[in-house]
Amino acid sequence: MSFRPLYAKRSKSILTQMAPVKVLMQKASYLNKLQQCLNLYLSATLQEHCAVASFQNGVLTILMSNAQWATRMRYQQNKLKQQLQAHHEFHDIVKIIVKVSPKPLKQTEETNDLSLSLNTATIISETAKGITDPVLKEALERLAKHTH
Q: Which CATH class is domain 12-100?
A: alpha beta
pLDDT at res. 59: 96
What is the crossing angle of helices 67-84 and 19-39, to 10°? 90
CB 116 within 8 Å of CB 144: yes
Domains of the chain by residue range = 12-100, 113-148
| CA distances in angstroms from 80 to 59, 60, 64, listed in the order given | 13, 11, 15
For the chain, 148 residues long, give each residue's pLDDT as a single digit of tens: 566 666 666 666 666 667 777 788 889 999 999 999 999 999 999 999 999 999 999 999 999 999 999 999 999 999 999 999 998 889 999 999 999 987 765 666 666 666 778 888 888 888 889 888 999 889 888 888 876 6
Residues whose CB falls within 8 Å of the CB of residue 135, separated by 6 or more in sequence, listed in order? none
